[in-house]
Chain A
Amino acid sequence: AQSVAQPEDQVNVAEGNPLTVKCTYSVSGNPYLFWYVQYPNRGLQFLLKYITGDNLVKGSYGFEAEFNKSQTSFHLKKPSALVSDSALYFCAVRDMKAAGNKLTFGGGTRVLVKP
């Protein structure tokens, strides 16, 4: 069975400081990995994905994520956080070999960027 873990319920960071949101995953095959962001009273918005190739992927709004196969991690990063980055962030995985292409999400991490 595939799974995703986001060990931190909440991350607090001062504006202008680096932001990291952690994610680890478990799949039987090779993973497709995703990050989504959710603002209050909205649906989930796609930020970035790792499919294959370069382990460092860049996405929307200055976010990037690094795929680490040996540590089965896909941490989300932003060099300089903005107050507007305050939101709920979800990591997700799809197993390339799983029948039916199931998409599994982590529990989410709330990010609070303080001015």
Chain B
Amino acid sequence: DAGVIQSPRHEVTEMGQEVTLRCKPISGHNSLFWYRQTMMRGLELLIYFNNNVPIDDSGMPEDRFSAKMPNASFSTLKIQPSEPRDSAVYFCASSPSLGQGNTEAFFGQGTRLTVV
């Protein structure tokens, strides 16, 4: 398996533009997580899904952020409109649900977003 695949790896955009980050989880994994990493705030959980259903989006900072998981093999995180303070590395991770043996999450390489 190729692991969790995120695209793009780097994104530079102007303030006010829409940004869409993409994630393909590992096949067969039921849980998908979106995290944001910055120097100031560390690693923050934004939202996570179980069986394509959003379970907890309390970490989404503002209404400008939205996430979808239309099927088991694809998820998006959208920021509209983007602001300079959104600049960060965004990670996607997937794992089997608890009770299915392996329980650890596997991370993608991340998307480094820079909003100028």
Main secondary structure of the interface of A (DSSP, over half): strand
Closest to B41 in A: A107
- Residues of chain A within 8 A (CB-CB) of B12 are none
Chain A hits for B97, CB < 8 A: 101
* Interface membership of B82, Cβ < 8 A: no
Interface size on A, as a range, is 20 to 34
CB <8 Å contact, B56 and A32: no
Interface of B is mostly: strand
Number of interface residues of B (CB under 8 A): 24
CB distance from A32 to the nearest CB of B (A): 5
Answer whether residue A69 sits at the interface, using C-beta atoms and an 8 A cutoff. no
* B104: contacting residue among A49, A96, A100, A108, CB under 8 A: A49
Q: Can you list 24 pairs linking A and B with CB atoms under 8 Å apart?
A: A32-B98, A32-B103, A34-B104, A36-B107, A42-B110, A43-B4, A43-B91, A43-B110, A44-B107, A45-B107, A46-B104, A46-B105, A94-B98, A94-B103, A96-B98, A100-B55, A101-B48, A101-B97, A102-B48, A102-B55, A103-B45, A105-B35, A107-B43, A108-B42
